[in-house]
Amino acid sequence: MAPDHVKMKSVIRVLQKPFDPAQIEFLGNVRVGEGGVPLDVVRQHYHAVVHATGSSVDRALGIPGEELAGSLGSGAFVSWYCGHPDHTKLQPLLDHPGVAVVGAGNVALDVARVLAKTADEMAATDIPDPVLDVLRSSAVRDIHVLIRRGPQHIRFTPAELRQIGELAGADVLVHDDGLLAAGVEAPEDRRHRQMLDMLAEWSATEPAGKPRRIHLRFLRSPVRIIGTGGRVGGLVVERNTIRDGRVVGTGEQETIDVGLVVRAIGYDAEPIPGLPFDPATGTVPNEGGRVLRDGRPVPGAYVTGWIKRGPTGVIGTNKADAVETVAALLEDLPGLPEPAHPDPAEFRAALAAHGVRPVDWTAWLRVDAEEVRRGGLRGAERVKVAELAEMLDAAHGATTG
Ligand SMILES: NC(=O)c1ccc[n+]([C@@H]2O[C@H](COP(=O)([O-])OP(=O)(O)OC[C@H]3O[C@@H](n4cnc5c(N)ncnc54)[C@H](OP(=O)(O)O)[C@@H]3O)[C@@H](O)[C@H]2O)c1
């Protein structure tokens, strides 16, 4: 969840509830698979395993220059500002006034908004202190959101689009090659109509002269990232046009002056060792959450979330999706084979044998308290502990600075 969606993030209190009366045992810091505890071992201790590992791999554009420093996937960039421990060393290059964000989904909007917000606005969120320091010294002024199709094809949602129009420090500029003025056929979907109205209003409004600008550039496809001194120095895009309702390239190219390119074009998933995987959809084959191998359910194996459906859908979609999986599990439960070692103490012993020291619920609450303490120092509700070592220090009772 985007760090500046502070109100929505209070869902953390709701999600804590089932753990408090100890109905559910929480075991954090447990890697399943290589470098942790093998899935086979987990299966010996539980009737069922629900995999909710998501889609954590950034899709590539497949264009020259993508490997340059300053060319990032949104997964890495978002994980960095959200304080994911695997991405604390990212050091994105925010030393150039121009940034390109590729894509017309809500992730592209999240990235554009975080780059456009003032440091004071971001200080009130839970982003880690080192991230705030980088954003404070950001030289970014122009954020170019590159959308390959037209205003009628965006995949944003209205609430998210509206937010970029309400930023204290950034104007929104719509570049649509006159499509909106010429009249776009009103889509049937009410939310799409709302968004078209918003875009039309912005395109007819003079910018207020705020220090930063978000440019919504329609009908532009990235073609090549230009390297300067081993890092991103610009982005070549091709202009597209809409012919017979289809988007086609015109062959006409232009270069956008940027030092960072963030592609927010969707995600792929990593296969789960020991489970079937469909690389075409980035999902584990399943029926209503029951994992299928060669078309038949694998007893005790379930999936939920993006690893089940692919990388689309908002939090509400995932809630309904989880309900479906859990219903399937409960229906199957009476017929599932008894695990060889059902005693939770035996699982703890197995973890120890694999060198895994879990973070239990009491330890998680210590991390939570540390985040709230750090928040107090910055006038925020909480501030993320991002470094794994600091997280474990907080969890296991050592004091951190
Ligand atoms: N606040 C929120 O509610 C929130 C926040 C973040 C994410 N989400 C949800 O999470 C899901 C994933 O979001 P997402 O933004 O990653 O995915 P998304 O909604 O699927 O959007 C991906 C975008 O990338 C574009 N794209 C794909 N390949 C491209 C290419 N080669 N060149 C240029 N553009 C390309 C797509 O364009 P086309 O449309 O032309 O295919 C599409 O606009 C969505 O359901 C989203 O709503 C919700």
Q: What is the DSSP string of 164-230?
A: HTT-SSEEEEEE-TTHHHH-PPPPSSHHHHHHHHHHHHHHTS-----SEEEEEE-SEEEEEEEEETT
User: Beta strand pairing status for 170-175 and 212-217?
Assistant: parallel
Q: Tell me how far the alpha carbon of residue 267 lies from the centroid of ligand 1, in angstroms.
A: 9
Q: Cβ(251)–Cβ(243) under 8 Å? A: no
DSSP state of 32: B
Q: For residue 99, how many C-alpha atoms fall within 13 Å in the half-sphere facing its CB?
A: 29
Residue ranges of the chain that CATH labels 3.40.50.720: 47-56+269-338
Residue ranges of the chain that CATH labels 3.50.50.60: 57-267
Is the Cβ atom of 282 under 6 angstroms away from ligand 1? no
Is the Cβ atom of 155 under 6 angstroms away from ligand 1? yes
Q: Cβ(78)–Cβ(111) under 8 Å? A: yes
Question: In DSSP terms, which residues pair with 226 in a beta bridge?
Answer: 234
Euclidean distance between the first and final Cα of the chain, in Å? 26
Is the Cβ atom of 61 under 6 angstroms away from ligand 1? yes
Closest-lying ligand 1 atom to the alpha carbon of residue 62? 31
Q: Tell me how far the alpha carbon of residue 316 lies from the centroid of ligand 1, in angstroms.
A: 17
Is the Cβ atom of 103 under 6 angstroms away from ligand 1? yes
Q: Tell me how far the alpha carbon of residue 312 lies from the centroid of ligand 1, in angstroms.
A: 8
Q: Mean per-residue pLDDT for 258-284?
A: 96
Percent of residues, the chain, with pLDDT higher than 70: 99
Is the Cβ atom of 161 under 6 angstroms away from ligand 1? no
- Domain 57-267 sits in CATH 3.50.50.60: yes
Distance between CA 127 and CA 136 in Å, rounded? 12
User: What kind of fold does domain 47-56+269-338 have according to CATH?
Assistant: Rossmann fold (3.40.50)
Distance between CA 162 and CA 194 in Å, rounded? 10
Determine the pLDDT at residue 400: 45
Give residue-wise pLDDT tens across range 41-76. 999 999 999 999 999 999 999 999 999 999 999 999
Distance between CA 111 and CA 324 in Å, rounded? 31
Distance between CA 216 and CA 224 in Å, rounded? 19
Nearest CA to ligand 1 atom 18: 105
- Which two structure tokens, joined as six digits, stand for 219? 């009908």
Pocket test for ligand 1, best of 219, 312, 318, 319 (most atoms within 8 A of CB): 312
Determine the pLDDT at residue 401: 43
Is the Cβ atom of 164 under 6 angstroms away from ligand 1? no
Pocket test for ligand 1, best of 81, 107, 110 (most atoms within 8 A of CB): 107
Q: Mean per-residue pLDDT for 253-280?
A: 96
* Model confidence, pTM: 0.96
Is the Cβ atom of 219 under 6 angstroms away from ligand 1? no
Is the Cβ atom of 9 under 6 angstroms away from ligand 1? no
Nearest CA to ligand 1 atom 43: 104
11, pLDDT greater than 60: yes
Distance between CA 367 and CA 359 in Å, rounded? 10
Host H or E run for residue 254: strand 246-256
The region that residue 103 occupies, defined by phi over 0 for left and psi between -120 and 50 for alpha, beta otherwise, is left
By three-state DSSP, how is residue 255 classified?
strand
**pLDDT, averaged across the chain:** 95
Distance between CA 258 and CA 99 in Å, rounded? 5
Distance between CA 271 and CA 53 in Å, rounded? 10
Q: Following DSSP, what letter does each residue of 287-331 receive, concatenated? A: ETTEEEETTEEEEEEEE-THHHH-S---HHHHHHHHHHHHHHHHH
Position 184, amino acid: V
Q: Mean per-residue pLDDT for 181-204?
A: 91
